[in-house]
Amino acid sequence: MIDDQFDPGTGPIELSEEVTGDQPQASFVPASDSQLRRGPTFGVCLWWSDEKPFWLHPEDVEIAKKFIPGNRVLRRSECPNFADRELGYSVFQYGESSFRALPAIWLEISSDGYELNDLVQVKSQYGRLNPVIATICDIRWNQNRRKIDYYLSVSGKQVSRVYASSEIKPTMRLNSYLSQRELSLAKENMI
C-alpha cells in the first residue's frame, strides 16, 4: 500500500490498496532548480570573462557593460520570463537598471539588508558622527575590508564620507507603510 505520496503539481495524493498494472502508479518527481522560489541575493561582478560574453543575455549586453566589471553591489533575483529562467538566467538589478545574465562571474556576498534608496539614520557613535536622516544613493563592495560601503545623500546632496552598516540604522517614514523587508530590518536594529 502506498499512502500520502506527494505530487508537486497537485499536492498529496492517496492510492487505493489495490494497484493493478492498468492503473498509473504515483511517483515523486522533484521540482527542478528553476521551479524553487528563492529570495533575492546580493553580490558583485568584479571581472569581465571574455570579449563575447556567453553568460549575458544578448539583449542586455550594453546595460551590463555599465556595471561589469565593477564593485557595485547588485541584487540578483529570479527571472520573471519562464523561457529565460529555464535557460538559467537571473535578473541583476542596481537601482532602476537591470539586466539578465547567467551567474557565471557572480560573487555572492552577505548583505546587511539595506538597498538603494532606503531611508536611514546615521548613528551618532557617542558624538563622533553627526546624526542625520539620509538616503542610500550608492552601495559598493570594499574588497580590502571585505565589507559593503554605503554612500549617502542628505537633501539630494551626496555626503563625501563612506559609511559602514554599523554606522547607520533604518528609519521610519511618516505617513506611509513600511515594506516587509523594512520591518524585519527595523526589528533587527530595534528602532
pLDDT exceeds cutoff 50 at 12:
no
Higher pLDDT, 47 or 181: 47
Residue 8 Rama label (left phi>0; alpha psi -120 to 50; beta): alpha
Per-residue model confidence (pLDDT) at position 13: 43
pLDDT exceeds cutoff 70 at 18:
no
Confidence of residue 38 (pLDDT cuts 50, 70, 90): low
pLDDT exceeds cutoff 90 at 137:
yes
pLDDT exceeds cutoff 60 at 14:
no
Q: Domain ranges in the chain?
A: 37-109, 119-189
Per-residue model confidence (pLDDT) at position 34: 44
pLDDT exceeds cutoff 50 at 169:
yes
Tally Cβ neighbours within 10 Å of residue 168.
21
- Identify any residues that bridge with 44 across adjacent strands, giving them in sequence order: 107
Interval 8-18 mean pLDDT: 45
Interval 69-76 mean pLDDT: 92
Per-residue model confidence (pLDDT) at position 54: 83
CATH 2.60.40 is held by the domain 119-189 = no
For CA atoms 126, 128, 133, 135, the dihedral sign is: negative
Higher pLDDT, 29 or 135: 135
Per-residue model confidence (pLDDT) at position 17: 45
Higher pLDDT, 84 or 23: 84
pLDDT exceeds cutoff 70 at 36:
no
Per-residue model confidence (pLDDT) at position 178: 65
Tally Cβ neighbours within 10 Å of residue 78.
16
Whether the upstream peptide bond of residue 69 has omega within 30° of 0, thus cis, is: yes
